[in-house]
Amino acid sequence: MTNKIYNAFVLLIIIGLCFYSCNDDEKQKEEYKTMILKVAAYRDYYVAPGHGITTDILGYVVTDESNKTYVIETIKGFEDEYEEGYEFVIKVKAVNKNQGEPVQDLLGYYYYLLEVLSKEKV
C-alpha cells in the first residue's frame, strides 16, 4: 500500500515538472510579427542605435508600412536576392531583439526574409 502511494506521489511530481517546463518553453519563445517592407534601390551606411555613430557597414534602406524610413543592417536570406538599382517589396519575419519589452522602431528587430513580393528596376 505504501509503495502505491509513493509511486502515485512520484508520478504527480513528474507530471507537475512536465507542465512547469512547458510553461518555461512558452516564455522563452521569441515574439515576432510579419511585416511588409519596401527596400530602396540603394544601400546606405548603418547608424548604431543609441549611439548615433555611423558605421562602415552598408545596410538596407527600408520603409515600413507607416512610411518611416530606416537603415537596417541585415535581412537574413535577402542577401542573395538584393540587386542595386532595383526596388523591392518584401515580406519579412521581424523577431523582437528584446523579448518582453515593447519595440520602439524597426531597429528593435532581427529580420528574416519570407517572400519577395515585387522587384522593380528604378
- pLDDT band with cut points at 50, 70 and 90 for residue 102: low
Residues 41 and 20 placed together within one structural domain of the fold: no
Number of independent structural domains in the chain: 2
- pLDDT band with cut points at 50, 70 and 90 for residue 16: low
Q: What is the mean pLDDT of the chain?
A: 81
Residues 110 and 98: beta-carbon distance below 8 Å = no
- Residue 50's pLDDT is 72
75: domain range?
32-121
Residues 1 and 56 placed together within one structural domain of the fold: no
Give the percent of the chain with pLDDT over 90.
50
Q: What is the pTM of this model?
A: 0.69
